[in-house]
Amino acid sequence: MCGIVGYIGQKKAAGLLIEGLKRLEYRGYDSAGLCVCGEGTLHVQKSPGRVAAIEEMAGADASLQAGTVGIAHTRWATHGAPNQVNAHPHCDDGGRIALVHNGIIDNYATLKQFLLGKGHTFTSETDTEVLVNLIGEFYEDGCQTLEEAVQRALREVNGTYGIAVVSADEPDKLVAARKGSPLIIGVGDDEYVVASDAAAILEHTANVIYLNDNEMVVVGRDGMRTMTIDNVPVTKEVQQIEWSLEEIAKGGYPHFMLKEIMEQGEVARQSLRGRLDLRDKRVLLGGLREVARHLVRTRKLIVSACGTAWHAGLVGEFLFEDLAHIPTEVEYASEFRYRNPIIEERTVFVAISQSGETADTLAALREAEEKGATALGIVNVVGSTIARETDAGVYLHAGPEIGVASTKAFTGQVIAETLIALMLGRRRFMSQPAMTGYLEALSEIPDKIERILEQSDDIRQIAEAHCERENWLFLGRGYNYPIALEGALKLKEISYIHAEGLPAAEMKHGPIALINDGMPVVFVAPRCGTYDKITGNIEEIRARKGKVIVVATEGDEEIRRYSDHVIYVPDCPVPLSPLLTVVPLQLMAYHAAVARGCNVDKPRNLAKSVTVE
C-alpha cells in the first residue's frame, strides 16, 4: 500500500527520504518517487519498480543533492497503471507545487472537468494530479499561502487522503493533511519527518504527533502549527512511539515472515503479560475496564474484519459462544459495510485488525457505530485509526508485523479474543474451577508454541516433498475449521499454490471430486469432540490416494496409521487449540514458498495494509 515520507530540517533531504521509503517497502508498492525543493525550483525523480531504482536516479541527479525540504512516495496503483508518469510526486501544471497522496479522491472526475474548464492540463491518469492542480488553481486564485490553498482544495474533495505538499514559492514549508489515511509527524531537534508509517520516522525520533481525520499540519523552519482543514487551530500532544528500530529489522532471520512466526511464543507471552491474574483467577483487561459492565449485558456480538483477521474472528465466534454464551456473528467487513445491517439494542461490534487502518474494517466499524453499537477494537498498531475510533479495546502487543502475510498478529488476535471470552464468561456463568483450568492452560501456551516451532525443519521437509503440487486442501472441524481456512490462505498468498480450506465434513458434498493421486490434504485434527469423525474423513482421502498430512495432538500414535505425515502439537483444552494448530500451517506455507523460490515477504499483488476499498 502507498507510503509517504516528508522531511524538513537541516540535513540533505534526498538521502533521508530514500532511507524512509526503504523503511516503507514492506507495505507493498509498484513505483516510487521523490521531490526536493531547490533554489526556487522543484526537482522530481520517479520510476516504476523498486526504491533502489530511485536511489540510483537520485544519486546521479546533482540538482537533488542540496535541498533540505522534500517529499517522497511509494505507490500501489489505484488510478492508472504503475508507470513513471503515474508515480508520485505529482506537480501542478505550472510545476510550482508537488504532492504525494495516499487514498482515493472519489470525485476526481468532476474536479478534473472543473480544472479543464480553467485551462489546466494533465499528464497522468491519477486522481492525485487532479488534487495538486486544484491546489495550484486556488493558489493562483487569491490564496495567500500554500496551507490556505490546500485547505480550500481539500474542502472540495470527497474521498480519502493522506497528503504531503511542498511549493517552490514557499520552499521552507511542508504542509500535510489527512482524512481516512494515516499520517504521523515525527518531531525532532530542528527537523520534522512526516510519514504514513512510524517505521520511516523511528530512525530520527520517537516523538510523534498523530493527525486525526480532517486535520493538517504546517511545518517550517520556525516550528509546527496544527489545525483542521477549516483552519481551526488544534493542539496536539506529542507522544512516544513504543517500537524500536531493532524490532522492525529482521533480527537475523532470512525473512520477516519467519522471524514473526518464530517470535510467536514471545508474542503470546507479551499478549498475556499483566492480563492473567492466576492468583485471583481473573482476566484483567485495562482497555475494557470502562465498558466491562456494559459488555456483560451484551445480547449479540458482531465481529467484523478482513482476511486473516476475519479468520481470527471465526475462532472468536466459537470462543464467545462457547466460553461466554454470547450469540456471535462474524462478518466480512467489506460485505457488512454495504448490507444495511440490523443492529439491535445491546449489540457490541468488534473490529479486528492488525494495522488498524484497513479501509473496509474501518467503514464497517463506522456503520455499526452509526447504528448505535458499542464498538471494541482488537488492534495491533497503537494509535491507529480503528484503535482511536472504537469505544474501547484490547491491543495485541505483538510488535510490528512487517511480513505481508499475517502470522503473529493472528496469534495475538486469538489470544485477545480468548481473554475477552473468559472475562465475560466468568462474569456471566463460568464456574471458578473452569476459569482456573483455562487460565492455567492459557499461561502454558507460550511454551507450547515454542515447542512446535522447534519442529520447523521437519515441517520444511514435508513442505518440500509436496510443494510441486499446485492444489492443496486444508480440512478442520469446530474450533479448527477457521485454522484450515487460515492454513489455505497462508499457502496461497505466499507460494501461489491454489489451496482451499473447508470444514472437513463438507468435503463429501463436492470437493472430494478434486482428490487425485498425490494431492496434499492437510487435516487439522487435534483431539476433540469430533476427532472420530475426522478420522473417517481421512480414510476417504486415503482411499482416493491423496497425501494425508495431519496436525494431531502429542501422544496420538493411532493417527500415524492413517497418515503420510504427522505434525504433533501439545495437548491443551480444545478452545485454546487454534493457538497451537495454526503454527505448523504457517511454517508449512513459509517453507513451501521458499522451496518454490517465492518472495515471501513481498508476495506478488499483495499489500500489507489495505487502506483502499
Active site residue 2: yes
**Shortest gap between Cβ of 410 and ligand F6R (angstroms)?**
8
- What CA–CA distances, in Å, run from 358 to 23, 339, 364, 454, 488? 20, 18, 10, 33, 22
Burial code (b: 16+ CB inside 10 Å, e: under 16) for 573-598 equals ebbbbbbbbbbbbbbbbbbbbbbbeb
187 near ligand F6R (CB under 6 A) = no
Cβ closest to ligand F6R, residue 380 vs residue 537: 380
307 near ligand F6R (CB under 6 A) = yes
C-beta pairs of 223-227 under 8 Å, 24+ apart in sequence: 224/185, 224/187, 224/192
**Residue 300: how many other CB atoms lie within 10 Å:** 18
524 near ligand F6R (CB under 6 A) = no
d(CA 304, CA 309): 9
Q: Which of 2, 37, 91, 306 is catalytic?
A: 2
334 near ligand F6R (CB under 6 A) = no
For the chain, the 3-state helix, strand and coil shares in percent, each to the nearest 5, are: 40, 25, 35
Residue of minimal CB distance from ligand F6R?
307
With 0-12 CB in 10 A as exposed, 13-18 as middle and 19+ as buried, what is 109?
exposed
**Shortest gap between Cβ of 400 and ligand F6R (angstroms)?**
12
313 near ligand F6R (CB under 6 A) = no
309 near ligand F6R (CB under 6 A) = yes
375 near ligand F6R (CB under 6 A) = no
d(CA 355, CA 378): 10
Active site residue 490: no
406 near ligand F6R (CB under 6 A) = yes
Q: Which of 50, 46, 61, 47 is nearest to 12 (CA)?
A: 61
306 near ligand F6R (CB under 6 A) = yes
Contact 311, 338 (CB under 8 A): no
Identify which range of 165-173, 213-221, 238-246, 349-357 contacts ligand F6R by CB under 6 A. 349-357
Cβ closest to ligand F6R, residue 226 vs residue 609: 609
Contact 32, 74 (CB under 8 A): yes
**Shortest gap between Cβ of 259 and ligand F6R (angstroms)?**
15
530 near ligand F6R (CB under 6 A) = no
Cβ closest to ligand F6R, residue 71 vs residue 378: 378
**Shortest gap between Cβ of 550 and ligand F6R (angstroms)?**
23
d(CA 495, CA 410): 19
Identify which range of 228-236, 305-313, 431-439, 580-588 contacts ligand F6R by CB under 6 A. 305-313
**Shortest gap between Cβ of 357 and ligand F6R (angstroms)?**
7
304 near ligand F6R (CB under 6 A) = no
**Shortest gap between Cβ of 355 and ligand F6R (angstroms)?**
3
Q: Which of 556, 555, 554, 560 is nearest to 538 (CA)?
A: 560
Contact 524, 581 (CB under 8 A): yes
Identify which range of 354-362, 368-376, 451-459, 543-551 contacts ligand F6R by CB under 6 A. 354-362
Contact with ligand F6R (CB under 6 A) among 347, 361, 374, 535: 361
Contact 382, 409 (CB under 8 A): no
Active centre residues (catalytic): 2, 608
Interacting residues with ligand F6R (CB under 6 A) = 306-309, 353-355, 358, 361, 405-406, 493, 609-610
